[in-house]
Structure 1
Amino acid sequence: MKHLRVLILPLLWVALSLPASAEKLSLNKISAYLNKFTTAKGGFTQINGDGSISTGMIYIKRPGRIRFEYNPPDKSVVMAGGNTVAIFDGKSNQPPEQYPLKRTPLSIILQKNVNLATAKMVVGHTSDGKSTTVIAQDPKHPEYGKIRMLFTANPVELRQWVIVNDTGGETTLILNEMAKGMGLPARLFSIDQEAQSRGFSR
């Protein structure tokens, strides 16, 4: 349960196989990429705060919806829909923990119109010659934590992110190759339907 909570509420920064060189992406270009990013699905590898590793499938439907399904034997699901995040712990018979989406750093990339140029939203914007890293936070509520995103260029792609909570705890999510632009059923992001399928009433 601990590693699921850290994913949403906020250590390792894992090196990827990246191009030999790449331009530093501007905040406007990254914002444009995220705003065109409507639906996607693919595998992920999650490095938890205790050093353990989890894998699974991620589904994204912007704005406001995301779903993490963990591979067996873990039956856990973390999802956001209806402005709420729900954590279904596969090892628990308790109803899901729920939080307002706006209190998590993921809300930054799931909002309808992403504008990283907003004053004080971006607190870090660097390039190592292979990729561009952007650290963003809610400028009105920095206490909600930060999200550190790594992008590659040509074409622009989001490769991984790190959720950093208010105490500095980190959880890394590395994205596999993502398929984009497909239709995704609404049930994937329905907290009510997920709860009912597990025998809970919201």
Structure 2
Amino acid sequence: MKRVLLAGALLFAGAAAHADAIDTLKAFVSDVKTGRASFTQVVTSPDGAKKKSSNGSFEFARPNRFRFAYAKPYEQLIVGDGQKIWLHDPDLNQVTVRPMGEALGSTPAALLAGSNLDKDFTLKALPDEGGLQWVLATPRQKDSGFQSVKVAFRAKQLAAVEIVDSFGQRSRLDFTQVEANASLPADRFRFTPPPGADVLSQ
């Protein structure tokens, strides 16, 4: 009898933890209007043989404004201003710009900085791993370019995002120095191409 009660208690606890993970993600989207953090990104090839690391900073302001600034090993800046997404490669002195509606959709940036969570993603709680609560977010749009996005929280604070693209390549971003509802100036999410840069519209 005690074993049955224990098993039932463990199952209930697991279900509650999973529900909490989805609730945590929804609360993050609902309550955290701005934020910033440092990140380390590791990209792994589909066969797991090759890995590339980079780091930088991430900022966002809902709805649909964000800034990824990669610092090492190569500088690169991605800015979403609510209307367009700008990608600046300083080494090439090249800027790529595309309409946000076409480029954002069910992407990780939409998950972190957007506001239409249930509209854009199907959510499923995953077992806790590495001391983190994980939620699987599957894009509803078939042509999103991503198979899935996993989001992790530690004590209700954003901790990591793991992305699997349509080719099976895996990217994991681990966040540190996370500051929720940070005071961010509006110009952090504006971008003006540098003088002489080649600007490519898509």
Fold equivalence (TM over 0.5): yes
Corresponding residue for residue 126 of structure 1: 127
Q: Are 1:65 and 1:80, in contact at CA under 8 Å, matched by a contact in 2? A: yes
Equivalent residue runs for 1:61-140 within 5 Å = 61-71=61-71, 74-96=74-96, 98=98, 100-102=103-105, 104-115=107-118, 121-123=122-124, 125-128=126-129, 130-140=131-141
How many residue pairs get aligned? The number is: 175
Superposed displacement of residue 23, structure 1: 4.2
Q: CA deviation at 1:140?
A: 3.6
Q: 1:140 to 1:73 in 2, by over 3 A?
A: closer
Residue aligned with 1:35, SS: helix
Aligned-residue sequence identity (percent) comes to 21
Residue number in structure 2 paired with 1:11? none
RMSD: 2.9
Q: Confirm or deny: 8 A CA contact 2:54 2:72 kept in the other structure.
A: no
* TM-fit CA distance, 1:69: 1.1
CA contact (8 A) 1:23 1:130 kept: no
Residue aligned with 2:26, SS: helix
Describe the SS at the equivalent of 1:106.
Answer: helix
Whole-Å Cα distance in 1 between the matches of residues 126 and 143 of structure 2? Answer: 17
> Among 24, 37, 46, which residue is 2:41 paired with?
46
Larger Rg computed on CA atoms: 2
Q: How does 1:6-25 map to 2 (within 5 A)?
A: 23-24=17-18, 25=20
Query: Which structure has greater strand proportion?
Result: 2
Structure 2, unmatched stretches of 5+, are 1-15, 45-49
Higher relative contact order (CA 8 A, sep 6+): 1
After TM superposition, list the pairs within 5 Å mapping 1:164-175 onto structure 2. 164-175=164-175
Larger helix share, 1 or 2: 2
Unaligned runs of 5+ in 1: 1-21
Which secondary structure does the structure 2 equivalent of 1:63 belong to?
Answer: coil
Displacement of 1:108 after TM fit?
2.5
